[in-house]
Amino acid sequence: DNDTFGPGNYYHSKSAAVAVLGANGECAPPVKDACTLHAKGGAVTPAVARQAYLEGPVACGGKGWFCRILPSVEHSGGDQTDWNYSHCNRTEYGDLDGHCHGSDVDNVFYWWVRDHWMRNYAGDLHCCCDWNAVKEVVARCDYRKGLQPGENEKCRDANEEHNKGYEAGCTNLGQNPLPEPPVEQCWDVKFFAPGNLIEDD
């Protein structure tokens, strides 16, 4: 990132992205340790929180995670053609609610976020720990696999080369409220990806 974005900068440094902190001003539990790590002994500034929320490492206890990029009237533009899921509180199926992606491997979070940021899947990012918690919340969700040593030479796309995506639909179609994961295992970023905003040079 230093070579591309300048010393001390990251791909998201000049973006509008904002990490949503708790009412007490603290980072969400799954990324609290990441906030401390990126603060390097200093204060958890908005820039530090943004880096932790987007880069991790996430503390999901080895259960993985899933994220939803939700449409936002405040942050549009980019590629909003690849919506791939509906929430289970809809009465009919249809990929109308945003883009869902996750994994049962904690440490692929960084690369998934970076990939979808660069694809400019703009909106608000809502992530939660536990890949299995997608059930009855969304009708489907894409999966990103973890690569073992040496697999990078043969793998073209870690988002596609597997058979582990969630495709089970909803047995509770039309249920409201949804059985969302507990708030303490989730974290949010407003204004994810560049969208149609022009970043400053």
- Cα–Cα distances (Å) from 135 to 9, 62, 88, in that order, read 38, 18, 9
pLDDT given for residue 64 in this prediction: 97
CA distance linking residue 138 with residue 85, whole number of Å:
7
54: Cα within 13 Å, side-chain hemisphere: 27
* pLDDT confidence band for 197 (50 / 70 / 90): confident
Cα–Cα nearest to 180, from 136, 145, 148, 124: 136
- Tracing tokens 């791939």 back to the chain, one arrives at 84
Range list of β-strands (E), 130-182? 142-143
Which pLDDT score is estimated for 145? 76
What residues have CB less than 8 Å from 37, skipping those under 6 apart? 52, 57
109-166 pLDDT per residue, tens: 999 999 999 999 999 999 999 999 999 999 999 998 775 555 444 534 444 554 788 9
What residues contact residue 45 under an 8 Å CB cut-off, 6+ apart? 39
Tokens for 107?
A: 């440490």
DSSP bridge partners of 185? none
Mean pLDDT of 30-35: 98
Helix, strand, coil content of the chain in percent (nearest 5): 25, 15, 60
> What does pLDDT average to over the chain?
89
pTM of the model as a whole: 0.89
Q: What is the pLDDT of residues 39-91, one digit of tens each?
A: 999 999 999 999 999 999 999 999 999 999 999 989 978 877 889 999 999 99
